[in-house]
Amino acid sequence: MATSKPIVSSSFSYETLEEKLDIKSKRASLHIGIPKETAFQENRVALIPDAVNVLVDNGHEVSVETKAGEGSKYSDNDFSEAGAKIVYEREEIFKAPIIIKSAPVVEVAIPHLQMNQSIISPIHLSILKKNIIGEMMAKRVTAFGFENIKDDSGTYPIVRSMSEIAGSAAMLIAGLYLGSPYNGKGVLLGGISGIPPTKVVIIGAGVVGEFATRTALAMGASVKVFDNNVYRLKRLQNNLGMRVWTSVIEPKILAKQLKTCEVAVGALSTGEGRSPIVVSEEMVMNMRAGSVIIDVSIDRGGCFETSEITTHEHPTFLKHDVIHYCVPNIASGFARTASHAISNVLMPLLLSASKEGGLDEMIWHDFNLRHGVYMYKGHLTNFYISQRFDLKYTDLNLLIASRR
Going through 88-157 in order, the beta strands assigned E by DSSP cover 98-100, 118-121, 142-145
d(CA 404, CA 397): 11
DSSP letters, 185-224, are: ----TT--TTSPPPEEEEE--SHHHHHHHHHHHHTT-EEE
Going through 75-122 in order, the beta strands assigned E by DSSP cover 85-87, 98-100, 118-121
Identify whether the C-beta of residue 51 lies closer than 8 Å to the C-beta of residue 79: no
Q: Which of 346, 348, 321, 276 is nearest to 122 (CA)?
A: 346
Q: What is the DSSP letter of 279?
A: B
Q: Is 124 a catalytic residue?
A: yes
d(CA 59, CA 51): 13
Other residues' Cβ atoms within 10 Å of the Cβ of residue 265: 31
393's CB contacts (< 8 A; 6+ apart) are 380, 381, 382, 383, 386, 387
Identify whether the C-beta of residue 381 lies closer than 8 Å to the C-beta of residue 373: yes
Cβ neighbourhood burial of 293 (10 Å; 0-12, 13-18, 19+):
buried
d(CA 285, CA 325): 16
- Residue of 31, 60, 112, 124 marked catalytic: 124
250's CB contacts (< 8 A; 6+ apart) are none
Edge-to-edge order in the sheet of strand 31-34: 85-87, 61-65, 31-34, 98-100, 118-121, 142-145, 373-376, 379-380
Please list the residues that pair with 64 across neighbouring strands: 34, 86
Catalytic residues: 124
